[in-house]
Structure 1
Amino acid sequence: MLFVDASVVVAILAQEPDGTEQMDRLEQDGGPFFMSAIVRMEATLSLTRRLAEATGKDKPATPEMFEKARRLVDQFAVDLAARETMISGDVGNKALDAAQRYGKIVNHPAKLNMGDCFAYACAKAYRLRLAYKGDDFTETDLA
């Protein structure tokens, strides 16, 4: 059982250099997979930003870019058969605990941002392993 962080979703959908490796890791794990509304939001915003940057112009993203990114993220979740984790009060409290312990705000080496704190909290609350990219979570007790 694996909670998929937005960093993995973006790496795969944006075809980052390690995107294929990230997808291979998910396929090897086999699931079941879990995502939250916050992961979908964070991944959609990141992909939208990339679509806007790809135009080479210093203009904001368009609603069409946002819709395209949203469709990609939603389809990715469907293709993975990812189950939704609910963001309950308990998850919210665990996210606050993560920010207090591992957050950028307290200058912890993990430097978890808001999305990271919620991914951490979902993994903790639902007792899931966490699929992530980068070093942030290696500095936490989830590593």
Structure 2
Amino acid sequence: MILETSALIALLRNEDEADDIEKCLVEATQPIFMSAASYLEAGIVTDRSGDAITSARLDTLLTQLRVIVVPVSFAQAQKGRELARTFGKGTGHPAQLNFGDCFALALSLESDERLLYKGEDFRQAGVRNALDDFTAR
């Protein structure tokens, strides 16, 4: 499974779906991966919030969940660029994926792993949520 920034932030902030996201991650039987670009994006979001507790909790949570942060490869960057041209902000496509979204999706496609996210942006791009598989059980 690939953990995307929106799901991680929802969990850290105890937003809607946080309980389902947490259960999905805690009960995962396969490794959980995250793009280094998504890690940076999550760090920027939490650090900018001014909430030192949430900011510090980011790394603690990733460690507790044993999330493997994957370096961005050139192939992922190329795939991300392709995804941005098709689904990115400013293209007119309803998905309106941002910079970090493109890296997370590129890793998901490269590794053939489901993406765990919150919201509808990825769904607009035809990406099924790992949460769908979990809640369908």
Q: Deviations over 1:66-94 (max 9, x none)?
A: x961x322212111111122211000001
Give aligned pairs, total.
128
1:50 corresponds to: 49
Provide the residue aligned with 1:23 in structure 2: 22
Cα RMSD for the two superposed structures: 1.8
Please state whether the residue corresponding to 2:94 is helix, strand or coil: coil
Secondary structure in 1 aligned to 2:69?
strand
Distance 2:26 2:38 in 1: 19
2:13–2:54: 8 Å Cα contact kept in structure 1? no
The gaps in structure 1 that reach 5 residues or longer are 53-64
1:65-76 to 2 correspondence within 5 Å?
65=52, 69=55, 71-76=56-61
SS at match of 1:51: coil
- Aligned residue identity for 2:7: V
TM-score w.r.t. length of structure 2: 0.84
Alignment match, 1:119: 104
Q: Distance in 2 between matches of 1:17 and 1:137?
A: 17
Q: Secondary structure at the match of 1:84?
A: strand
Larger Rg: 1
State the one-letter code of the partner of 2:13: A
Change (3 A) 1:17 1:50: farther
User: 1:40, 1:74 within 8 Å by CA — same for their partners in 2?
Assistant: no
Superposition TM-score, scaled by structure 1 size: 0.80
